[in-house]
A and B are shown apart, each in its own frame.
Chain A
């Protein structure tokens, strides 16, 4: 199998992580071996797509040489993750990579609830922001099961207490946004156009009262929580903050499905999510 060198990010910003993900997955097809041996640290936006890719293919990996990185990957249960409430409870201080499956919606909901509770526990905000933390995760995960045509997806988060920010990533290996618009509405759009349509709230379903998930989640993250938001589908990536929305073309890169990643600073003020949903 082809060896794929996992590229160390040049810095710790979300854009640096996006570049690292792009350089790692550029020209990657089929079964590969991810070489993590030289990475100095791993972030959710890089490690979760690798876990998801390994899960979806017969790919493998070489572990990091740095013992702290190798231990960390063990704590978060890379690459297999957990797929039951029982497994989730074992990882106390680290939120494990979590595989959500639609087989049983009640079971999936309970596992998702555990994930949310763990995030809220590690974030430990001094202000009431539960709705703002819960809303984007719940909507973006639900998108996997409504639109990806896959009955499973991965979620993962890491809180950095010294830097006071939370990184969260949600990944599926489904049909992606452009194919969803094609199947749902018969539209031939590029990956860039599909991302733009999702941002403007166009549903891939026939009902006009749907299609709020990505638009409103991005607003809650960027405008409500002062965070940054990345969405990758096919060969395009969106980077959003409260100041800008940039869609990047990703040459020689194709992610079959959707990757959403975001970073939020530890909340310092309460956030009312409803103005972002109404507007």
Chain B
């Protein structure tokens, strides 16, 4: 039977740091592991990105019990990993701060 890590209980319900994934990677060390999201409320884009990059390197990890929000974040980031990024032009006005100091 493979090891199961309850991320919400063992770490926290909101996961955002890339460093957490690197810590997990050290802990798992190539073994077959189930990462259980049942107690995870939300993950950041950064965490999802680092996790999916790790999963690409290590097919032995399985992600289970994601809530719709966590699943959606993983889906969005997976698309970012697959597709070519568009750099949308942002309309910007340039001024000196002195122009708004009375």
Interface residues of A, Cβ cutoff 8 Å to B: 10, 15, 18-19, 22-23, 102, 105-106, 108-110, 112-113, 116, 130-131, 134-135, 138-139, 141-142, 145-146, 192, 196, 199-202, 208-213, 215-216, 237, 244-251, 253, 274, 277-279
A130 to B44, CA, bound (A): 12
Return the contact of B12 from the options A19, A113, A146, A253 (Cβ within 8 A): A113
Chain B residues whose C-beta falls within 8 Å of the C-beta of A196 in the assembled complex = 90, 92
Interface SS, B side: mixed
Flag if A209 contacts B45 (CB, 8 Å): no
Flag if A139 contacts B42 (CB, 8 Å): no
Which residues in chain B, 4-20, are within 8 Å of chain A measured between CB atoms?
Answer: 11-20
Which residues in chain B, 54-102, are within 8 Å of chain A measured between CB atoms?
Answer: 69, 72-73, 76-77, 79-81, 84-85, 87-98, 100-102
- The residue in chain A whose Cβ has the minimal distance to the Cβ of B10 is A106
- The residue in chain B whose Cβ has the minimal distance to the Cβ of A278 is B76
Flag if B44 contacts A277 (CB, 8 Å): no
Flag if B97 contacts A209 (CB, 8 Å): no
A236 to B28, CA, bound (A): 43
Chain B residues whose C-beta falls within 8 Å of the C-beta of A245 in the assembled complex = 90-93
Flag if A212 contacts B45 (CB, 8 Å): yes
Chain B residues whose C-beta falls within 8 Å of the C-beta of A201 in the assembled complex = 85, 87-88
Chain A residues whose C-beta falls within 8 Å of the C-beta of B91 in the assembled complex = 245
Return the contact of A247 from the options B44, B88, B94 (Cβ within 8 A): B94
> Given contacts A196-B90, A274-B72, is CB(A142)–CB(B16) below 8 Å?
yes
Flag if B14 contacts A192 (CB, 8 Å): no
A-B pairs with beta carbons under 8 Å apart, 8 shown? A10-B102, A106-B12, A109-B15, A135-B42, A200-B87, A200-B90, A248-B95, A249-B95
Flag if A112 contacts B14 (CB, 8 Å): yes
Return the contact of A23 from the options B18, B80, B101 (Cβ within 8 A): B101
A244 to B100, CA, bound (A): 15
A264 to chain B, nearest CB (A): 17
A197 to B44, CA, bound (A): 21
A26 to B43, CA, bound (A): 38
Return the contact of B85 from the options A105, A139, A199, A209 (Cβ within 8 A): A209
> Given contacts A209-B81, A251-B98, is CB(A105)–CB(B23) below 8 Å?
yes
- The residue in chain A whose Cβ has the minimal distance to the Cβ of B17 is A105
A274 to B81, CA, bound (A): 16
A182 to B52, CA, bound (A): 27
Chain A residues whose C-beta falls within 8 Å of the C-beta of B42 in the assembled complex = 130-131, 134-135, 138
Return the contact of A139 from the options B41, B45, B94, B96 (Cβ within 8 A): B45
